Amino acid sequence: MLEVKGLTGGYHNKAVLDSVSFDVHKGELFGILGPNGSGKTTLLSMLSGVLDYKGGSVRISGRDLKDYSSKQLAQVIAVLPQHSSLAFSYTVKETVSLGRYAHQSGWFHSWSAEDESNVQRVMEQTGVADFQDLHFDRLSGGERQRVLLAQALAQEPEILFLDEPTNHLDLSYQKDLLDLMRKMAKEQKLTVISIFHDLNLAGLYCDRLMLLEKGRIQVVDVPNEVLQQERIQGVYHTTIEKHPHPALPKPQMFIVPEKHGQDTIPLEIDDSYLTVGFEMIQLKSPIPLRTMSSGVTGSGTGWHKYFVNRHVHHGYDCEDHHVEMADYLTTHGFEPQETVGMMTAVFLDTVASKLLRAEDFSVFIIVTAGVGNAIDASLADRHSWSSAPGTINTWIFVNGHLAEEAYIHSIVTATEAKVKALHDLHVMDKVTNTCATGTSTDSMLIAATQRGAKLQYAGTITPLGKLISRGVYDCTVEALTNNRKRIEEL
Ligand SMILES: Nc1ncnc2c1ncn2[C@@H]1O[C@H](COP(=O)(O)OP(=O)(O)OP(=O)(O)O)[C@@H](O)[C@H]1O
């Protein structure tokens, strides 16, 4: 659809673009990225015939851009510029109708039924039909943006150029605009070429991205390849982190603000933050901790300040334990969004906890362990679904800065240590009469202060892994022993 070869040029004596070459296919949503001043708008101006270029070529549908008359060009391309103002004040409908100019002929052209239905359709699509009789200059920035998009669509172009189209739009209209662009690209084969400053939106919606740096192409590829952490940091000269989108296989880049003063002071989570009661064990951290857990609330990854291990009766049963637990936390003064909440039927005074220190970091471990429903994982299929309750809840607080992978290592290491504790205490699966490896409802939490020593790994023989192994093993043995004694006393 669009072939750009060796495009070179700029303004007067100032060279901006240096030998830029790329192709865009029909029906593609193509994003142009780059820091301020890298030449994005200059490139768009050249591609849309507004700015002349010194060298190279631009071909649209196989024909050189310079061979198109301005009217022919208006039938093929439309532009939604970054900043627009109108010389005269038209109504919204009149403004949109200007887009039909390219399809009208002669001096005294008449307004056809086709023109009318086209204008009404694009006003509906962009959500401006309701205020079509209002004057353009009375509209908000976002409303104007949508009216100008409607005008561009009324042109029925084959290629639509957009310069930061979401600039003035609120969250919902950003999504609507880009959903519409993608729909038109896929269903009507409209080719959309758009400049983006928001890397995440570009990554979510575009088929391919082109990254410009100082007037040259750094890379053209699919979003996952272009949005590499090191590449973006290098081109934009700032610290960012790349993470997967929670719902889609798309990359998302996050700005990481500079840390100041108090945010950098190391903090040690230990038993001074812990309260053991009859009804709940609670740990209140003075700062949010980065967590990975299988709690009833606060599960998955997140940031949490409060940690609750709640005692429930053996016969605890309710329709929706997530809702019930959130209600319980709220009633007891905890904000569920900030709390990792777990449940256990064991008596909480059987809890075991231990602080273990290495040279520049430490680990605080807390375990409650009941094994009424001990299970051998290798023979789990022999168990019926409804078994007696019994749970091992393991909390691991790391006073250090954990890498993402170290969270997974920590869970693996802690699980291995727990299994060994069960083995050494001869905990048996009553159904299979073999050694148990855990219970059917065990839960785990890894929470880190993300301050102080960087801890990349937590496998069993790493410095962190050694503390977790020792601590989880000792605490599980102690908690199980306490629990056995407690049951004997009853
Ligand atoms: N009309 C002009 N006359 C002279 N120089 C210009 C003109 N327009 C832009 N430039 C210069 O060309 C370079 C590229 O500008 P351009 O607007 O293409 O960058 P951009 O990547 O779109 O930047 P931004 O992200 O800030 O919009 C800049 O150094 C800019 O100062």
Q: For 121-159, how does the pLDDT look when each residue is reduced to its tens digit (9 = 90+)?
A: 999 988 899 988 899 888 888 888 889 889 999 998 999
Q: Is 16 in the pocket of ligand 1 (CB under 6 A)?
A: yes
Going from the Cα of 312 to the center of ligand 1, the distance in angstroms, rounded, reads: 65
Going from the Cα of 78 to the center of ligand 1, the distance in angstroms, rounded, reads: 21
Cα 159 to the chain's mean position, in Å? 30
Which residue puts its alpha carbon closest to atom 26 of ligand 1?
36
Per-residue confidence (pLDDT) for residue 424, from 0 to 100:
97
Assign residue 333 a region: left if phi > 0, alpha if psi is -120 to 50, beta otherwise? left
CA distance 405 to 465: 12
Residue 281 confidence (pLDDT) above 60: yes
Which residue puts its alpha carbon closest to atom 1 of ligand 1?
11
Helix, strand or coil, per DSSP, at residue 455: strand
Strands 2-11 and 55-60: antiparallel
Contacts of 289 (CB under 8 A, 6+ apart): 269, 303, 304, 305, 397, 447, 448, 449, 450
CB 420 within 8 A of CB 438: no
Q: Which atom of ligand 1 is nearest to the CA of 42?
A: 18
Q: Is 145 in the pocket of ligand 1 (CB under 6 A)?
A: no
Q: Is 31 in the pocket of ligand 1 (CB under 6 A)?
A: no
Q: Is 384 in the pocket of ligand 1 (CB under 6 A)?
A: no
Q: Is 9 in the pocket of ligand 1 (CB under 6 A)?
A: no
CA distances from 301 to 216, 288, 404, 445 (A): 39, 12, 10, 10
Going from the Cα of 11 to the center of ligand 1, the distance in angstroms, rounded, reads: 9
Q: Shortest CA distance to 335 belongs to which of 302, 306, 293?
A: 306
CB 359 within 8 A of CB 399: no
Mean pLDDT score of the chain, rounded to an integer? 91
Residue 490 confidence (pLDDT) above 90: no
Q: Which atom of ligand 1 is nearest to the CA of 215?
A: 14
Highest mean pLDDT: which range of 12-21, 106-115, 183-192, 405-414: 405-414
**pTM score:** 0.80
Which residue puts its alpha carbon closest to atom 5 of ligand 1?
11
Q: Which atom of ligand 1 is nearest to the CA of 44?
A: 18
When pLDDT is averaged across residues 77-88 and rounded to a whole number, the result is 74
Per-residue confidence (pLDDT) for residue 29, from 0 to 100:
97
Q: Is 15 in the pocket of ligand 1 (CB under 6 A)?
A: no
Going from the Cα of 157 to the center of ligand 1, the distance in angstroms, rounded, reads: 26
Residue 385 confidence (pLDDT) above 70: no
Q: Is 260 in the pocket of ligand 1 (CB under 6 A)?
A: no
Residue 76 confidence (pLDDT) above 70: yes
Q: Shortest CA distance to 400 belongs to which of 267, 284, 305?
A: 267
Per-residue confidence (pLDDT) for residue 258, from 0 to 100:
80
CB 171 within 8 A of CB 14: no
Q: Is 36 in the pocket of ligand 1 (CB under 6 A)?
A: yes
Q: What is the DSSP secondary structure assignment for residue 224, as one 8-state letter?
A: H
Q: Which atom of ligand 1 is nearest to the CA of 35?
A: 25
CA distance 397 to 373: 26
Going from the Cα of 214 to the center of ligand 1, the distance in angstroms, rounded, reads: 11
Per-residue confidence (pLDDT) for residue 83, from 0 to 100:
65
Q: Is 465 in the pocket of ligand 1 (CB under 6 A)?
A: no
Q: Which atom of ligand 1 is nearest to the CA of 43?
A: 18
